[in-house]
Structure 1
């Protein structure tokens, strides 16, 4: 169910702005998860420049995934500390993109994330539980 609702958000099919605002925060965590599972934190920061990373961390807190939230906090701090160095290397080439991997900038964070979040189902279960426990955040005024 949570995966279907997130897909509706992505497709612009939610019924109201209230739903969109609540799901936008959830999507910050979904985006981080998808990028990290696919290519690690290097890929996440390369593609997003960490623009929604703090909101992702806050969402993991809301979902009750405190260890993941702490991991994202530490990864965000690592990115902030080496942002200028990474930006100087991330020049749009595959070699530039690979710099973070070659220097193992985020390897420890990647390994820890893969241990904590084994699959998509785990994330969507957290989201589904949160939605069930907090329906007021997702119901339209008409439905209340």
Structure 2
């Protein structure tokens, strides 16, 4: 089973919560060997999932910056040191948003939504974990 989109339940839980202030999104990404675009939307030259994701990140950056969000870390990932041995990730990203409301504003931007075909074509699987800085149990 792969996870590529937010479910309605997960979105309601996140946005209905009472957290405020900055939120950092931990992204774990696994790329397809070859990007898979919808019929009629293929680029003129076939590309790898990693290449398609790079195009997505380049197109997304202005929309992140416009709302005050930023990628604060990006690095190659692999197997977990602690965690399921069968899960292997290609890339880990940390994206800081000033608030969950700003994240929503970014995610609903019409220009940003036009970039999603590259993300969907690129990814075989993903995880997105919101982290609220400075909170401890």
Structure label with greater radius of gyration:
1
Name the TM-score, length of structure 1 as normaliser.
0.30
Which has more strand, going by share of residues?
2
